[in-house]
A and B are shown apart, each in its own frame.
Chain A
Amino acid sequence: MIDLAITTALAVAGLLAFLLILMALLSPLEALSWWAGWSGHAPNPAELSREALAEVESQQRNGRPQKKARYFLVYLTAIGGVSADEISYREQVFLEKLQEALPEATIISDVFPFSVTNNPLTGERLFGWLWRTIHERRKTITGGMLASFIFARNLFNVAVSADPRYGPINNSGVAREISKSLYRNHYPLEGGVPIVTMGWSGGGQIAVGVAPFLDLGMEAPVYVISIGGVLTDDPGIAFVKHLWHLQGHKDKFPMIGDILFPGRWSVARHSAWNKFKQAGKMTVIDPGPMIHTGKGDYFDPKTALSNGQPHVEKTVEIIAEAVRSIPSTPPSVDIEKPLAQYDKEQKPHPDIDI
């Protein structure tokens, strides 16, 4: 009987391990096949400006008043997300409060950071039915366990974004979707207005990863706010003007980045990450005893600090202050320097030649 139980447990563990390795192996394929045009048309550089132009023309025709935002904030959800449209209630509350605190900013949250085409997990994709089923049953006990697959899938996508081989392709795709959303929200085609990418947990890596492509593709100064972000050694950080990293002292998840990514180790003095820190471009803020996710996290409106301030309000206060410190006149854009650092940091692609 015990033998049978052990055998079954081992078989289940083996099957799970196999599934996870398979998921990890397939994880770069979404970005790669998109780029290669295997999943439709290969991305066309003219498409973005064409869509932006159509948007501007439609807004001009309809005579819709355009809000002149001083900053554009892009919120990127965490690895538990299945779609940009279905972020949690707490995140929605956070975004509403942030908008109240920053009326001069336009906040967008309609980009799913773990897809190069902004295609939700529950959208039209090969395993869309599976993600929909898991997502629907998430609140039940078995569904809760199955939801781990959503975390795993998105976590692998974070690894794809951070991988020097796949990162540029993946991050340029996500940046393209962010650009589309920014243009839809009246971001000027001529660029120049500060963009603040704001990522929670795994979204923190994506927020840094897209920086070079927003900087080059939109001629915009890019700032990053990481909310308990798991930050890697992505050389894209060379393009970030400033990074604010919020890490509650009960949140240990961001330490994953400290350990797993050699470019973040203090011995790698010349890595983009360490040069960025040495240049004083990073501010680490401890907002209090916040945990990574769940009750007592950064967006919790019910849990309060010792002074009675709810967590979500503290988070909003810190972020609003950080955003207000961004100069209206953007720092001059010197592309060559960060580009050189980026090239230097990119590990050479394995050569399949002889």
Chain B
Amino acid sequence: MLSHDQWIAFTILVLSVASLIIGNSVVLFANRVSRNQFIRSIFAFTFLFILSIFLWALSIQFFASSFFGQHKPIADVFLLVGASFTPFIFGFLILLPHVGYYLYALLRVWVTINLVLNVMSAYHFRLWQAVLVTLLGWLLLEFISSLSFLRLDDVKRWFLKITTGKGEYKDPDDLVFEYVKMQRKLAVEAAGATEEEGGHD
């Protein structure tokens, strides 16, 4: 079980991730979710993001133990990895037009540095060891998620479908251009109709 302090750390992690998801919510608006779906999506994506942090913590624990013989309980590793993500508490500021984009890049750099430093201090690693363990953990996750036979995308879609009612989220630019092209197609058809009417007259 988590201690009181660990619960506080976990709560901060949840709030930070939720703030990040809100900051990046343009995808939700672009995909025309309802207000209700919007709120459910924030929860669902927050859950998925925290799950990914947990998996990253697992892989860091695995590499730290395999390569350097250092073992720590998963709850501790998870919270130390999670603590690195606290700068995302400012994630809602990503909504700011123009600056938001650069702020997001800055927050990601901050989180990465945080993570390496936290791994260093928790495991008493040198810098290169912390970087190696963190990087390998990330690569392992990327590798696993690219294994198509695991059908993780399908699982994710299924999860989103049952939690938010929408399994597929398209790219906002594609949606806008599809809309404008459809608008044009209908205008061309309308132009044809007026020409035909003119012909009949």
Map CB proximity to A onto B109-148 as digits: 1 under 8 Å, 0 otherwise: 0000000000000000000000000000000000001000
Once A159-B98, A168-B173 are accepted as A-B contacts, the answer to whether A216 and B180 lie under 8 Å apart by CB is yes
| B30 located at the interface, meaning its Cβ lies under 8 Å from any Cβ of chain A in the complex | yes
CB contacts (< 8 Å) of B34 on chain A: these are 36, 38
Closest Cβ–Cβ distance, residue A240 to chain B (whole Å):
16
| A217 B98 Cβ-Cβ under 8 A | no
| B35 located at the interface, meaning its Cβ lies under 8 Å from any Cβ of chain A in the complex | yes
Segment touching A, from B3-11, B66-74, B187-195: B187-195
Question: For B23, B25, B35, B100, which residue has the most chain A Cβ atoms within 10 angstroms?
Answer: B100
| B27 located at the interface, meaning its Cβ lies under 8 Å from any Cβ of chain A in the complex | yes
Return the contact of A353 from the options B29, B48, B95 (Cβ within 8 A): B48
| B184 located at the interface, meaning its Cβ lies under 8 Å from any Cβ of chain A in the complex | yes
CB contacts (< 8 Å) of A191 on chain B: these are 187
Segment 4-21 of A: residues with Cβ below 8 Å from B? 21
Q: How far is the CA of A172 from the CA of B177 in the complex (A)?
A: 9
**What is the total number of residues of chain B having a CB less than 8 Å from a CB of chain A?**
51
| A258 located at the interface, meaning its Cβ lies under 8 Å from any Cβ of chain B in the complex | no
Once A168-B173, A354-B51 are accepted as A-B contacts, the answer to whether A32 and B26 lie under 8 Å apart by CB is yes
CB contacts (< 8 Å) of B188 on chain A: these are 189-190, 219
**B-side interface mostly:** helix
CB contacts (< 8 Å) of A160 on chain B: these are 97
| A289 located at the interface, meaning its Cβ lies under 8 Å from any Cβ of chain B in the complex | no
| A259 located at the interface, meaning its Cβ lies under 8 Å from any Cβ of chain B in the complex | no
| B172 located at the interface, meaning its Cβ lies under 8 Å from any Cβ of chain A in the complex | yes
CB contacts (< 8 Å) of B169 on chain A: these are 353
Measured CB to CB, the nearest residue on chain B to A160 is B97
**What is the total number of residues of chain A having a CB less than 8 Å from a CB of chain B?**
56
Map CB proximity to B onto A21-37 as digits: 1 under 8 Å, 0 otherwise: 10011011000110111
CB contacts (< 8 Å) of B98 on chain A: these are 159, 162-163, 260
| B97 A48 Cβ-Cβ under 8 A | no
| A346 located at the interface, meaning its Cβ lies under 8 Å from any Cβ of chain B in the complex | yes
Q: A-B pairs with the 10 shortest C-beta distances?
A: A189-B191, A354-B52, A159-B97, A32-B29, A45-B182, A49-B186, A168-B176, A49-B190, A45-B183, A49-B187
Taking A25-B93, A35-B30, A350-B24 as known contacts, 17 extra A-B pairs with beta carbons closer than 8 A to each other, sorted by chain A number, are: A33-B29, A38-B35, A49-B183, A49-B189, A159-B98, A163-B100, A189-B188, A189-B191, A216-B184, A217-B183, A217-B184, A349-B27, A349-B173, A350-B101, A352-B45, A354-B52, A354-B156
Could you show 18 A-B contacts with beta carbons less than 8 Å apart? A25-B95, A27-B97, A28-B26, A35-B32, A36-B30, A49-B190, A53-B193, A165-B100, A168-B172, A168-B176, A168-B177, A172-B176, A189-B190, A343-B173, A349-B27, A352-B20, A353-B169, A354-B51
Query: B residues bordering A, Cβ < 8 Å?
Result: 20-21, 23-30, 32-35, 45, 48-49, 51-52, 92-98, 100-101, 104, 145, 156, 169, 171-173, 176-177, 179-184, 186-191, 193-194
